[in-house]
Amino acid sequence: MTLAVGAAAAAFPAIDDRHRDQRNYPHGVAFMDGQYLPMSEAKISVLDWGFLHSDATYDTVHVWDGRFFRLDLHLDRFFKGMEKLRMKLPYSREEIETILSTCVSLSGHQSAYVEMICTRGGSPTFSRDPRQAENRFIAFAVPFGSVANKEQLERGLHIAISDTVRISPKSIDPEIKNYHWLDLVKGLFDAYDAGAETALIVDTNDNIAEGPGFNVFTVKNGVLKTPGYSVLPGITRRTVFDLCNELKLPASAGDVSREELKAADEIFITSTAGGVMPVTRVDEAVIGNGKVGPVTLQIKDLYWTKHTDPAWSTQISYA
């Protein structure tokens, strides 16, 4: 399927040298208030409840070699999140697809990180009643970025387990992708203090939950497992289940203790920002033989191969 570039793109200003200035990084394109504009000019009101109260939902899809990967699943989750938060937009699903595609097309990025956001907005009368707020849609496309860099992908990440507890699913539905990241940010600082590169935090039962923007999988005796409680069901996480089904590898979701994590033969994390990324050290424990494992490599290779499959990806039409 090819997505057409919307007519509104014709009004987009040229990207001149000012917009290419490193101080305006990242170079990208945003859609706000019915118009496309350079990323550096995308602004949000300080009175928007998305800013004031983190009252927003969003989703992020990536583009690789000019193709969206699993766009339909990301749109499904975005619309479900809005429904659960009682938000509404003046755009249909098809119109949002076109907006996202146009942001990528105008940016020129063949590999991109593309975000769609719905904030509560604000009330014209400054009412504190969320029913009176005018919900707001924002989208943007910037260069693709990964949780792990090239060197980390080759040797495997060093992760620390923080004692920070993930926000309880009894308080916030983890299936709604949100910006409530203070627990995750605290976990990151704990990891940095421990000399690690990123973090995993725990659920209310002290089992492993997730990390800042990623899920985690263990591999033990050829069997895969990922935490099932108090986590965002990531699209890449779901993709791993789909790939395991194709590869005839058993995989399940359930409680993963700290001890079980460290005793794994292999560990990898999953995110739209990076795909399938190996972990070779947790705290002071070396995982397996300290090298990226064969199951991780098998899944990672198939994951990237699927990016050219029309059943898994969507071609973008560039202006």
**pLDDT 10s digits, 111-157:** 999 999 999 999 989 899 999 999 999 999 999 999 999 999 999 99
- 214-261 residue pLDDT tens: 999 999 999 999 999 999 999 999 999 999 999 999 999 999 999 999
What's the confidence (pLDDT) of residue 8? 45
- Residue where one domain finishes, among candidates 116, 145, 174: 145
Q: Given pLDDT bands bounded at 50, 70 and 90, which one contains residue 26?
A: confident
Please give the tally of structural domains in the chain.
Answer: 2
Q: Are residues 112 and 209 in the same domain?
A: no
Q: Are residues 264 and 197 in the same domain?
A: yes
Q: Are residues 109 and 177 in the same domain?
A: no
For the chain, give the DSSP string: -EEPPPGGGGGPPP--HHHHSGGGPSP-EEEETTEEEEGGG----TT-HHHHS--EEEEEEEEETTEEESHHHHHHHHHHHHHHTT---SS-HHHHHHHHHHHHHHHT-SSEEEEEEEEEEE-TT--S-GGG-EEEEEEEEEE---SS-HHHHHH-EEEEEEEEEPPPTTTS-TTS-----HHHHHHHHHHHHTT-SEEEEE-TTSSB--BTTBEEEEEETTEEEE--SSS---HHHHHHHHHHHHHT--EEE----HHHHHT-SEEEEEETTTEEEEEEEETTEEPTTSS--HHHHHHHHHHHHGGG-TTTEEEE---
Q: Is residue 25 pLDDT above 90, yes or no?
A: no
What's the confidence (pLDDT) of residue 231? 98
312 lies in some domain: no
What's the confidence (pLDDT) of residue 271? 98
Q: Given pLDDT bands bounded at 50, 70 and 90, which one contains residue 319?
A: confident
Domain limits for position 99: 2-145
Share of the chain above pLDDT 70, in %: 92
Q: Are residues 187 and 302 in the same domain?
A: yes
Q: Are residues 177 and 111 in the same domain?
A: no
What's the confidence (pLDDT) of residue 10? 39
What's the confidence (pLDDT) of residue 284? 97
- Residue where one domain finishes, among candidates 118, 145, 172: 145
Q: Is residue 3 pLDDT above 90, yes or no?
A: no
317 lies in some domain: no
- Average pLDDT in the 152-165 region? 98
Q: Are residues 244 and 275 in the same domain?
A: yes
What's the confidence (pLDDT) of residue 34? 94
68 lies in some domain: yes
Q: Are residues 68 and 155 in the same domain?
A: no
Q: Is residue 83 pLDDT above 70, yes or no?
A: yes
Q: Is residue 207 pLDDT above 50, yes or no?
A: yes
252 lies in some domain: yes
Q: Are residues 120 and 253 in the same domain?
A: no
Q: Are residues 89 and 59 in the same domain?
A: yes
What's the confidence (pLDDT) of residue 111? 97
Q: Is residue 22 pLDDT above 70, yes or no?
A: no
Share of the chain above pLDDT 90, in %: 90
What mean pLDDT, rounded, does the chain reach? Answer: 93
